[in-house]
Amino acid sequence: MRRDTQHVLLVLLGGALLRIAADDTYLRYVRPSHRWLLLAAGAVIVVLAAVALVRDRAPAAVSPGEGTHQHTGVERHVPWLLLAPVLVIVLVAPPALGADAVSRSGSRNAALQDADLFGPLPPGDAPELSVAEFVQRAAWDTSGSVEGREVTLIGFAVRRGAAMELARMTISCCAADARPNRVRLVGDLGEITPDTWLRVQGSAHPGSATAASGYVPALTVTMLEQVDPPPDPYEY
């Protein structure tokens, strides 16, 4: 690959990083704190390419450094692969992980046991909890803080056999390490297509999140409505 092609490719790559960090698109792939890394990396890549472009144009640019040495064999063509993420980001911008990824990750919840005693729930009629926190409390809270209480959860619909589940992915670095947390919805739900985002109000079945059920609690639904996908689809 010629040097000038490499420069153009780097500008596109840096541009793609800046593009997804400019709005909420990056939240489909990485956690919010990654934004500044993406902006910095995108800027550095563009600057490196621009510096090389300018230096190659200058008449005295006889020191192309190591850039001119030829790789041999297939390795010569490997830089072309950098075009793949650029094209996928610009043309497709794949959506955040959804029902398909949940059904691919087994039948168990990935909730970690953080504690066996949790604080009281936030005040109010049906306080909003993250799906991960609800699963944790349902599975491990010995004080039973979610038993007999209505809670509000937001997540997307996943079909498992005949049952319908509400799920949310938890990530710690990027979508490659995503782990699902699921809640089985019980009640008259009507027709729901998978991947629809829902706000669900209901109360947990005591003792439903056990090792036997894969720590998937059951929730009797008292209210259910479709909502817009949140800007940040993951929990952390």
Partner 1 sequence: MTIIDRARITSLHVFCAVLVAAILVRPLITEALSAPVLRTAATVFVAVCVQALPFLVLGVLLSGAIAAFVSPALLRRALPAHPMAAVPVAGAAGLVLPGCECASVPVARRLMAQGVPDGAALTFLLAAPAINPVVLVATAVAFPGEPRMVLARAIGSLATACVMGWLWQRAGRAGWIAARARRAAPASSGAGRWAVLAETARHDLVSAGGFLVLGGLTAAAFSVLVPPEWMDALAGQVLLAVVVMAVLAVVLALCSEADAFVAASLSMLPLLPRLAFLVVGPAVDVKLIALQAGTFGQAFAARFAPATFVVAVMCAVAAGLVVLP
Q: Which of residues 101-130 bind partner 1 (CB under 8 A)?
A: 101, 104-108, 110-114
Nearest-CA neighbor of 167 among 105, 82, 81? Answer: 105
3-state secondary structure at position 159: strand
- 2 strand-pairing partners: none
How many residues in the chain?
236
- What is d(CA 5, CA 9) in angstroms, rounded to the nearest whole number? 6
57 scored as a contact of partner 1 (CB under 8 A): no
Binding piece for partner 1, criterion CB under 8 A, among 13-21, 120-128, 160-168, 221-229: 13-21
Minimum CB separation of residue 224 from partner 1 in Å reads 23
Minimum CB separation of residue 201 from partner 1 in Å reads 28
Residue span 133-172 as binding mask against partner 1, x where in contact by CB under 8 A, dash where not:
--------------------------------------xx
Minimum CB separation of residue 44 from partner 1 in Å reads 5
- Tokens read off for 223: 């209210």
Q: Using the rule CB under 8 A, which residue among 22, 32, 37, 119 binds partner 1?
A: 37
Minimum CB separation of residue 157 from partner 1 in Å reads 14
Cβ proximity to partner 1: between 83 and 223 the closer is 83
Contacts with 22 (C-beta within 8 Å, 6 or more apart), sequence order: none
Burial grade of 28 (CB within 10 A; 0-12, 13-18, 19 or more): middle
208, 128 in Cβ contact below 8 A?
no
Nearest-CA neighbor of 45 among 77, 8, 6, 14? Answer: 14
Residue span 169-208 as binding mask against partner 1, x where in contact by CB under 8 A, dash where not:
--xxxxxxx-x-----------------------------
Residue span 62-91 as binding mask against partner 1, x where in contact by CB under 8 A, dash where not:
-xxxxx-x-x---x--xxxxxxxx-xxx-x
Q: Using the rule CB under 8 A, which residue among 11, 19, 30, 209 binds partner 1?
A: 30
Minimum CB separation of residue 152 from partner 1 in Å reads 25
- Tokens read off for 112: 């970690």
Binding piece for partner 1, criterion CB under 8 A, among 3-11, 140-148, 152-160, 182-190: 3-11
Sign of the Cα torsion 8, 9, 14, 18 reads positive
5 scored as a contact of partner 1 (CB under 8 A): yes
- What is d(CA 160, CA 83) in angstroms, rounded to the nearest whole number? 37
- Tokens read off for 42: 């995108």
Minimum CB separation of residue 2 from partner 1 in Å reads 5
